[in-house]
Structure 1
Amino acid sequence: MLRQKLGSVTNLLRRTVPRASMMTMGTIAEVTRCTRLRCFNGLMQFNHDNMTGVALAADLANIAAAGTPTCDDVQQLLVTHQIRRPDVTTTSRAEILAWGLRLHAVFAQADTVRRCGELNELLTCSATRLYLTSHDGLRPHLHFVRDDDNLVHRLMAVTAGGLALFLVYSEGLRLGQCARATCSKVFVDTSRNGRRAYCSSRCGNHDAVERHRNKHHRPRHC
């Protein structure tokens, strides 16, 4: 579909744009084609634009599901993710943790359609507008909320919007919940083959040991 659209645009420009300009259009088409191939042939590129919001979303989901983190715990997480003006109050802490649980539900969905449905619910109350910004000397990039909005609204927008962008790049995949029965942690799958099943090697090793024990300790029937 993308190739067809690019072909239509290129044909239109071939009739209306001087020939000398067509090299530029051909280059754009080739770059777009190559970028798509890099993203969807198992070599998806993970960068600031498609990882900032989704990585924060995973950590917020996990800290919210872990128990009762303090204001300092939440604030330290935000500092780690370089969130500006990260001062967490008792009120904002409760709102952030409630949002984290809603983010957790997006990761926990195994079905892509349901996952998108869960995320659409979050988008309707957070990332409703786009803003172009170049704060702190960074190159122009998109925000889903005004720079001067409060902390909770900024977190809601950057996580929901970031998840939406990531799911577009990953074709609705590469989000998951740990396969270990006693672990509820969620994760972003940045593996080469996109088949990650556990939040950590520790959980994966634990399940491997359990499977080995069960295999060799099955009762024998006469």
Structure 2
Amino acid sequence: MYKILIIEDDNKLRKELSKLLVSYGYECIYNEDFKNIIEYSLTANADLILLDINLPYYDGFHICREIRKQSNIPIIIVTSRNTDMDELMALNLGADDFITKPYNTQILLAHISTVLKRTTMNNNSQILIHKNLSLNISNSTASHQDNKIELTKNEMRILSLLIRNKETIVSRDDIMNELWQSDEFVDDNTLTVNVNRLRKKLETIGLRNFIETKRGQGYII
């Protein structure tokens, strides 16, 4: 079930919108503390935000900009302000979509579904998970529980190849072919150095022996 955060100060409209979304299988949350709405948005673990522009304390443009500095959560601007400049500003600030009030409910639902599907596809291709390790390809970081490490380009490529082929031996030749996609020359010794450095980094976040060597064959996780 997708969780949608509604940032709307019109109580009646917010209730109607929430009722509509719940009837279509979504979970809806909101917060009337608009002074701290940015902090709430970043910690609410919502899958999508429906954001009005005209709000107390901060307008939707400011909220969108501040959220986007720290999160890629999908944001759809839903507002009665319908000028081209408003739409252009919203999209330039990182909003994923822009819908004007009054809206056709089926069109709104279609926009929400499209944005969520697109985001899910992007996330699935950018984040790989295996044995409680999460590899974020978009920013070359790996995390385990509450610990996170930064990876070099080669370390990220090695780890992503192993995760995509989990529980299967990946030969050293296959890994070197993967690393040849970069501008950096990679020979057999360079690969060994990279794998050893990667192992040490993984140990610092509690993943000892995460990469296993199969002598004469390659590596496996």
Give TM-score scaled by structure 1 length.
0.27
User: Higher helix share goes to which structure?
Assistant: 1
More strand by share: 2
State the TM-score, normalizing by the size of structure 2.
0.27
